[in-house]
Structure 1
């Protein structure tokens, strides 16, 4: 019996040496168990007392060949599940190896799982249908959440529009700086809905659209005439009312996302003779942001107001 115990101990020592060698080479516990046919309990026993070395980057522990294969599959559009089945690695390892790669626009289904009984074509169709169902379900969930939130707002009162407009201007409008005083209301935005809201806000403040001038700001390689027509319809004034557009120089080194048929540039709105209106905007916005009492105290104690 003593001889059998000694034999088992020698076997465990040899097995432990193999386990530690694999850990040093970056193998994960699931991979070691699959390679050596060990149970989780047995592997834990063999690793008892082993201290993992400090690594500056977990990716450096990855097996070079598998990591390269995983990155190649990811660039082809393979999902984590498909890659994990193909390479027999854990998804946690894939996360370390692939986290710097962009998410594929379309996923490659990979190979059919063992025992599925599907051909590659059947598996691809199955994955495509499943992905489409998932996308539709998530889209419906997002739409329902947005609709629910919109219903919570309801119709705005004049006071609520006043608050929303003042904050919108303070976020997107031109403001006074210590080196440049602002003499008129100038609002810039590329969102048609926000532009319409700001025009409603100006009308609430007593400025009709006849007292507002418009100018397009757009990249020089875009369709200026089409963009002008677009904004003309948004604000409800003829293109002749628009000032000469500002054309932004094209920088080929910049990767722009806003291109194509949906790019219409930004619209700049000028409220005529609006220096007093600008100061009202600042007072409203600061009262909302700071609270009326604090805003009034701070403004009254400012030695050189920016206006």
Structure 2
């Protein structure tokens, strides 16, 4: 039996966009499984891993709905950031914080706000604003070299950001101990301030976009 060409194109589109199995496409289009197989056999979909089967169509719809929900929340937070920018710029050091994040902040993900530096003045400024803007306290971690006094490093940064030394996590630098003749300029290591906050990250994006637009 010859089927209309549009059905083949629809089957292939569903395979790509919805990542449906051959059985699911056959059921959706009310067509034989063998027909669907010949139409889409060249389009692979990710294989299910042991103990983690493919999500059902209902699960996929739920996931799509959740993604849309958070997309709208991010857009709302971005709009909020754009509208509040001018008022916040009237607050001392806010603009400096945004410029600092634009230059030094972590931008690879839309779900996290993070900044690292070895200068205590820069770290203190960033910490004050992140704690002021976020809904919960950030986490701290210092990169150190093998020849450093770890307790002294934790105590130093704890005093800078006003937290107990135990709150300062430790991460050994990957090249620690391999720079025999180095001149150590960051004697207290490099501190990272980090918090998972999607909405604050969206607001920050709006602020940095405004600053960047002024420079162009």
Post-superposition offset of 1:161: 2.3
| Match for residue 276 of structure 1 among 181, 199, 203 | 199
Where does residue 256 of structure 1 map in the other structure? 182
Mapped contact 2:97–2:126 kept (Cα < 8 A)? yes
| Match for residue 162 of structure 1 among 94, 97, 113 | 94
Larger Rg: 1
Where does residue 208 of structure 2 map in the other structure? 285
In structure 2, C-alpha distance between the alignment counterparts of 1:188 and 1:267, rounded to whole Å: 5
Post-superposition offset of 1:236: 0.8
TM-score by length of 2: 0.52
Cα RMSD of the aligned pairs, angstroms, is 2.6
Mapped contact 2:140–2:193 kept (Cα < 8 A)? yes
Where does residue 35 of structure 2 map in the other structure? none
Post-superposition offset of 1:256: 2.5
Cα-to-partner distance string for 1:166-214 (whole Å, 9 max, x where unaligned): 11112112112xxxx342111111111111111222244244xx51111
The question of 1:185 aligning with 2:113 is answered yes
In structure 2, C-alpha distance between the alignment counterparts of 1:269 and 1:254, rounded to whole Å: 29
Q: 1:220 to 1:201 in 2, by over 3 A?
A: same
Structure 2 gaps, min length 5:
1-87
Where does residue 198 of structure 1 map in the other structure? 126
Post-superposition offset of 1:277: 0.9
Across the two proteins, how many residue pairs are aligned to each other? 128
Cα-to-partner distance string for 1:252-305 (whole Å, 9 max, x where unaligned): 45642226xx7000111112x41111121121112112139x8xxxxxxxxxxx
The question of 1:173 aligning with 2:99 is answered no
In structure 2, C-alpha distance between the alignment counterparts of 1:184 and 1:206, rounded to whole Å: 11
Large movers: runs of 4+ above 4 Å? none
Mapped contact 1:186–1:268 kept (Cα < 8 A)? yes
Matches within 5 A, 1:96-107: none
SS at match of 1:291: helix
Post-superposition offset of 1:233: 0.9
In structure 2, C-alpha distance between the alignment counterparts of 1:277 and 1:229, rounded to whole Å: 29
Matches within 5 A, 1:57-76: none
Mapped contact 1:158–1:204 kept (Cα < 8 A)? no
Where does residue 47 of structure 1 map in the other structure? none
Mapped contact 2:144–2:172 kept (Cα < 8 A)? yes
Where does residue 190 of structure 2 map in the other structure? 266
Post-superposition offset of 1:160: 4.5
In structure 1, C-alpha distance between the alignment counterparts of 2:211 and 2:92, rounded to whole Å: 11
| Match for residue 172 of structure 2 among 247, 252, 256 | 247
In structure 1, C-alpha distance between the alignment counterparts of 2:208 and 2:132, rounded to whole Å: 16
